[in-house]
Chain A
Amino acid sequence: MADLRNNFVGIKSPNPFWLASAPPTDKAYNVERAFKAGWGGVVWKTLGEEGPPVVNVNGPRYGAIWGADRRLLGLNNIELITDRDLYVNLREMKQVKMNWPDRALIASIMVPCEEEAWKAILPLVEDTGADGIELNFGCPHGMSERGMGSAVGQVPEYIEMVVRWCKQYTRMPVITKLTPNITDIRKPARAAKAGGTDAVSLINTINSIVSVDLDNFAPNPTVGGKGTHGGYCGPAVKPIALNMVAEIARDPETYGLPISGIGGVTTWRDAAEFLVLGAGNVQVCTAAMTYGFKIVQEMISGLSDWMDAKGHRTLDDITGRAVPNVTDWQYLNLNYVAKAKIDQDACIKCGRCHIACEDTSHQAITQFVNGVRHFEVMEDECVGCNLCVNVCPVENCITMEELPAGTIDQRTGKPVDPNYANWTTHPNNPMARQAAE
């Protein structure tokens, strides 16, 4: 039985599944239910400074896109940080932490970018017994208009400054939550590290208009005839999040910096992907908002069973395992050759591979053979692009098969070269030629 216990920058939890700072973690009632369902930790919904709390819109806060059968693929929200009184939240956090000492409880904080504001709130949070703090430099809507959230996260100097204050005024571990609404995610991560952060968490939501109401010509969610950009999350953002996590994990300047992975984690498999790309644990929100807290049970059993099947004992055995295999395009082996292969027994003859290849790619899949509807890869045309694999509705019906070294590639007429060779040394690369001279 795999050991799923998680130690993230000294914060211990029975499993690596935390709920992200978001509506599901806004009050004790929800968090108690989450812990009962089995969640390892919770990042409490972002606290603001003392005083009258923020207000939310009284119309719709969410918009979505769906896949087949109305499966929710992406969610967009315009909800702000907690709209409850600071002291109510602090009281509840303290009580919940007492009730659940084995679970992680992190306070997410967003106050104005002034030293006094941070200095004031940190002791109050520390008094709750929270295990750590997460700095919300990510929310792209509403709060950013007031100079907080992503408005801070988009300026590396501000990140470094605020992190430094936090490290100065609290003993609690500091997790810096990054916004993806930036060109190069490594810059804010480096800034957070320079400020002394214990970890980064990412991604926060992506700035988005999720859809438009075509009857009223207004973005969704529409509040009284108008809409605004919101934060996008859910399964659709996972690929963006995975890349950003990997970029930080493999950047020499931030290599080794603990990462809490966030962005579209819906199943154990998603979580495992974040972990192997360098995340120490994961945070989840949309999946819980779609299906309820019970989904963590699938994540726990799935991760555990996969680790058992593969012989991985602890999370440390898997964290970062894929990082060495993330590289730049220029280092990919240009002598590696693969061809698509269609399993004729599994093929249902929908023809999607053919038309995708015929219309949009390399004309490498037949439609008829001897007058009979039959889909087969023509190896002399196939460049191994993998498009057919991706459009095929039947899992594992089309696979990419590596051509062993020495065999003749029907497309080029040349034998497959056993040696590794990449773009940096390729004769067509003008830079390579220069280097040779």
Chain B
Amino acid sequence: MGTTQSGILGGRLPLGEYESNFSDLHPPLDKHEALVASDRCYFCHDAPCMTACPTSIDIPLFIRQISTGNPIGSAKTIFDQNILGGMCARVCPTETLCEQACVRNTAEERPVEIGRLQRYATDVAMKENKQFYTRAASSGRKVAVIGAGPAGLAAAHRLAVKGHDVVIYDARPKSGGLNEYGIAAYKSVDDFAQKEVDYVLSIGGIEVRNGQALGRDFTLAELQEQYDAVFLGLGLAGVNALRLEGENAEGVEDAVDFIAALRQSKTKADIPVGRRVVVLGGGMTAIDAAVQAKLLGAEEVTICYRRGKEHMNASEFEQDLAASKGVTIRHWLQPKRIAEKDGKVAGIELEYTTLEDGKLTATGETGIIAADQIFKAIGQSFLGSGLGALKLEGGRIVTDAEGRTSIDNVWAGGDCVLGGEDLTVSAVAMGRDAAESINRAFAAAAPRASAVA
């Protein structure tokens, strides 16, 4: 039995509804559907979709391999560029990347379903546990990778392929980073993130130490002593604060924690949610939190964003998804004060905003939305400690194009890096490229070492 009671509580829905609400957002293509979808690809020369992909997957080739009945070969084409191609197929905002670039848009306003085709091929290969890579002969080099998220896993895999020994340290109990903790449940069902981690690690030569945090359990300087190279894929562990009256009231929560808790819950019925929920922010995190709050049975869910629709980081598709689930998105509203009653959230006062000479300005007009739960999704920040003299800028790690930081033999990639794109697929590309850079550095160093000997 469900309930419409006020307050933050679990079990708002009849049990059966949770399963259907949190089922796969884009059900996988079956073989026939994949063949029909793959037939639409023109096999473009120097394809725009491939250019648009941060990992430069050879999309026309992998789709052609599907169309000729070779999904295994197709999966290899994908994994060659992106070992996390399975997750990227699920979470990439394809509508702003490869599928936006598809030439079919020009003629028909309907791109080839690249994301779903990629999922089809990678699913086939992973279901068969088809392994495409073997390790090169051991180089004797040891690399520490900090963070078992997309950047760290991609770096570790490529390093392992090259014959280097890798130890991954991760602060969380499970590997996967945002793939495991930061993505809406309906985008990654059936424990896919862990299956993918296992698939990536099966290359061998990678040891994972969970529950180990940089700055708490070890420092960068210590790692530099123990390892030939270090890769930092730390992600963004901090959450931006509102700095408003009432922020500490019971019921004001970080959206990322809510999303993480949902992913770790089996039934979802145990995740408490308010009756009236307000989500502050305009990115993917805001959408993921709002949609899932609605799917948990919240009666009213409102996203409040301080700028206009065109400024939202969430893609058009994500915004439409939220609307289709019954989420209200309101623009030009910024939080002013959180109203409390008995220490609990009772509502939020918001102030209307406008752009004056390109600058966001409050108009002075305010309004109140009743709420018993408020999610903060106004951005994450880099939290680093134990990093020594590592050069930061704007709160992020500075690297060159190959991922080299200001410290010798230390590389970095993913969201923690300045200029990071906040995308799984970009993190994979940076991790992979840093691994190649590390490998080149080892190769360049090797002859010198033997010359000295």
Contact = CB atoms under 8 A, between A and B. Distances in A.
Interface in B36-86: 36, 39-40, 42-48
A356 B44 CA distance: 11
A350 interface: yes
A114 to B, nearest CB: 50
B39 A68 contact: yes
A393 B35 CA distance: 19
Given A68-B39, A348-B107, A349-B106, A367 B44 contact: no
B419 to A, nearest CB: 23
A69 interface: yes
B337 interface: no
Contact of A352 (B45, B104, B106): B45
Give the bracket for the number of chain B residues in contact with chain A. 10 to 19
A349 B104 CA distance: 10
For A348, A350, A354, which residue has the most chain B Cβ atoms within 10 angstroms?
A350
Contacts of B35: 70
Interface in A129-186: none
Interface in B98-123: 103-104, 106-107
Nearest to B36: A69
B18 to A, nearest CB: 38
A352 B42 contact: yes
B43 A367 contact: no
A69 B37 CA distance: 9
Contact of B44 (A70, A352, A394): A352
Interface residues of A, number: 14
A348 B106 contact: yes
A348 B43 CA distance: 13
Contacts of A352: 42-45
B33 to A, nearest CB: 12
Interface in A323-354: 348-352, 354
A351 B49 CA distance: 12
A350 B103 contact: yes
Contacts of A373: 46, 48
B44 A69 contact: no
B103 A348 contact: yes
A355 interface: yes
A221 to B, nearest CB: 19
Contact of B104 (A69, A348, A354): A348
Contacts of A355: 45-46
A354 B103 CA distance: 15
Contact of B107 (A351, A367, A394): A394
Given A69-B36, A349-B103, A393 B42 contact: yes
Contact of B39 (A69, A348, A367): A69
A69 B106 CA distance: 21
A351 B47 contact: yes
Contacts of B40: 68
A211 to B, nearest CB: 13
B445 to A, nearest CB: 37
Contacts of B42: 350, 352, 393
Nearest to A347: B106
Contacts of A354: 45
Contacts of B103: 348-350
A349 B40 CA distance: 15
A111 B107 CA distance: 56
A349 B52 CA distance: 14
Contacts of A69: 36, 39
Contacts of A393: 42, 107
B36 A350 contact: no
Nearest to B104: A348
Contacts of B46: 351, 355, 367, 373
Nearest to B103: A348
A400 to B, nearest CB: 21
A364 B297 CA distance: 62
B302 to A, nearest CB: 41
Contacts of B43: 352
B39 A350 contact: no
A350 B48 CA distance: 8
A72 to B, nearest CB: 14
A8 B17 CA distance: 70
Nearest to A67: B39
Interface string B425-438: 00000000000000
Contacts of A70: 35
B39 to A, nearest CB: 4
B318 to A, nearest CB: 27
Interface in B3-54: 35-36, 39-40, 42-48
A69 B42 CA distance: 13
B220 to A, nearest CB: 41
A34 B106 CA distance: 42
Interface string A168-210: 0000000000000000000000000000000000000000000
Given A350-B42, A354-B45, 13 more contacts: A68-B40, A348-B103, A348-B104, A349-B44, A349-B103, A350-B44, A351-B44, A351-B47, A352-B42, A352-B44, A355-B46, A393-B42, A394-B107
23 contacts: A68-B40, A69-B36, A70-B35, A348-B107, A349-B103, A349-B106, A350-B42, A350-B44, A350-B45, A350-B103, A351-B45, A351-B46, A351-B47, A352-B42, A352-B43, A352-B45, A354-B45, A355-B45, A355-B46, A373-B46, A393-B42, A393-B107, A394-B107
Q: Which 9 A-B pairs have the closest CB atoms?
A: A351-B45, A355-B45, A348-B106, A348-B103, A68-B39, A350-B44, A350-B42, A350-B103, A348-B107
Interface of B: 35-36, 39-40, 42-48, 103-104, 106-107
